[in-house]
Amino acid sequence: MTLSVNPNAPKDAAAVILLRRDTNPKNPEVFWVKRGDKLAFLGGFHAFPGGQLDTSDSEVVVKNSSDSQTAAMISGAARELFEELGVLAARGAERLTKGQRASLFDDLESGRMSWPSLLDHYGLQLDAGDFTFAGRWVTPPFSARRFDTWFFLVTCPAKQEPRVVPGELAAGEWIAAQDAYDRWLGAHVVAVPPTLHALKTLAGGISPDLVDRFLAPPQAHGDPVRKIEFRPHYICFPVRTPTKPPATHTNSYLIYNSKEILVMDPGSPYADEQDALAACVDELIGEGREVREIVLTHLHPDHVGGVKALIAHLGGAVAVAAHKETAQGLSDIEVNRLIHDEDTIKLEGDPHISLQALHTPGHARGHLCFHDEQTGVLITGDNIGSVLIDPPQGNMSDYLNSLQRMRALPNLSVLFGGHGPAMANPYNKIDEYIAHRHEREAHILQAVHSGAATPKEIVAHVYTDVSPKVHPMAERAVLAHLEKLVADGLVVRNDHEQYLTA
């Protein structure tokens, strides 16, 4: 018998909402950070310091802690706070000089001493009284990386100042909670629901019921978040779909203002998921809005599987809009309005939201991205993600041209992809995808040079690290690269469907 481990299971993590000492209780200041662009998880997001638990975190004895799990979480939170901001929230730290704290930091970072032995050695003691539990949020299952994160409110210890330690974080600052929340409202930052909830709650002031307000929503107790507003007016609503692994969900988007709602890619064929999305749409309608239309980025089943159910739910009175190639490729969904390259969709109402459609083929012939020039949002459909280029719908030359076209857009600030969390490091991400394709192409060309002549032979050569189960899919991707190499004149195809050096 083998134990099955769910690779998508959330990992324990802890984060610290650091409050400024002697801050104005009516509008307290908090230390927030901007995560580095290169981080695989939430790169470029505004957040609080924190991270995954270390195994040694549970070896720390935490005074006044009710149980061992809470103690481990507090220990992890304190360690992350020290590693990322140099703030040591331990009793006894007030006896240390700045220089001693610095050498302690070096001991930890260099691995000379573990966190538990270091606290021990310097006579430091963590006390649960310094860490106020402020909720436990679980990353929704649409993300490949998931965390079960405990948040703690901590007042910055006297005579210590947070500073961003170069590495994982790009920046950090003290900011009044209301100002931080306003930065999000003004579309200047990208953040996840627990961060936004914390800022909004703190903006309400430090009152006796502060912790109750933190813990009020069920999501603060680990209930999955369904509706994710990384940016105001753009709801990301992941729905479970029979999509390609490792993805398990497709993102539907609800773009709304005071009067109208656009529904993009209602992709789930499952009734429970369709109901959940419909309930979210109904809520927006209940506040006085109308659904303007359903928009499709492309024709793949995991992006259109819930279209008919949503139309039926809305009483049939809603149009579907898509590119001509998508309309022609869909057999059982009627597209009522065609969207052409550079067409603009303007929402009636407040604020003014204007989306320009970009015909970006490659993953699918009729693929569309949508660009909100004013706030730098780019809805990328499946052009960014675990993208399969499968001919004849897929075309590698087109795909690379589409990526270049996306890369050339000015002032991008966030990418909303078809699967997984938003990306707040748009240029970095697009560059990553372009580089990945070039690297793959170079390997395939090398394989052809060394005599591999069919997609099957090339896969055996190039995809040495993937399970044979996915080889058929990989062969489709290799074929797409070969077609591009033929078009580029670097490879020729002979009459026996073999690919040879040109």
226 binds Zn ion (CB under 5 A): no
Rounded to a whole number of angstroms, the minimum distance from the CB of residue 243 to Zn ion is 8
Please, which residue, 382 or 475, has the CB nearer to Zn ion? 382
139: Cα separation from own chain's centroid: 10
Closer to Zn ion by Cβ: residue 218 or 301: 301
CB 438 to Zn ion: min, Å:
22
The reply to whether omega before 392 is within 30° of 0 (cis) is yes
Of 163 and 436, nearer to Zn ion (C-beta) is 436
Q: Which is nearer to Zn ion, 28 or 362 (CB)?
A: 362
3-class SS of residue 73: helix
* Least gap, CB of 389 to Zn ion (angstroms): 10
Q: Cβ of residue 327: shortest distance to Zn ion, in angstroms?
A: 16
CB of 275 to Zn ion, least distance (A): 24
CB of 251 to Zn ion, least distance (A): 12
367 binds Zn ion (CB under 5 A): no
Shortest distance (Å) from residue 423 CB to Zn ion? 17
User: Which residue from 168, 372, 382, 398 is in contact with Zn ion, where contact means CB under 5 A?
Assistant: 382
Stretch that binds Zn ion, among 60-68, 221-229, 375-383, 450-458 (CB under 5 A): 375-383
- Burial call 69-89: b when 16+ CB within 10 Å, e when fewer: ebbbbbbbbbbbbbbbbbbbb
* Cβ proximity to Zn ion, 136 vs 244, nearer residue: 244
Subset of residues 267 to 306 that bind Zn ion, contact rule: CB under 5 A: 300
The rounded distance, in Å, linking the Cα atoms of 29 and 45 is 19
Site string for Zn ion, 156-185 (x = CB under 5 A): ------------------------------
Residue (of 345, 268, 276) closest to 301 by Cα position: 268
Q: Residue 65 or 251: which CB sits closer to Zn ion?
A: 251
Could you tell me the CA-to-CA distances from 32 to 17, 110, 317, 401, 404 in Å, in that order? 8, 26, 45, 38, 33
Candidates 286-294, 377-385, 391-399, 467-475: pick the segment binding Zn ion (CB under 5 A). 377-385
Alpha carbons 127 and 381: distance in angstroms, whole number: 47
Stretch that binds Zn ion, among 231-239, 246-254, 311-319, 374-382 (CB under 5 A): 374-382
In the complex, the smallest distance separating the C-beta of residue 146 from Zn ion, rounded to whole angstroms, is 23
Nearer to Zn ion, 136 or 367 (CB): 367
Contact 399, 363 (CB under 8 A): yes
**Distance, CA of 404 to CA of 417 (rounded, Å):** 16
3-state secondary structure at position 60: coil
Q: Where are the beta strands (DSSP E) in 169-248?
A: 169-176, 228-231, 234-240
Phi, psi dihedral angles at 22 (to 5 degrees): 55, 35
By beta-carbon proximity to Zn ion, the closer residue of 57 and 302 is 302
Q: Tell me: does residue 265 bind Zn ion (CB under 5 A).
A: no
Rg (CA), the chain: 25
How many angstroms separate the CA atoms of 237 and 271, rounded?
15
Binding site for Zn ion (CB under 5 A): 300, 382
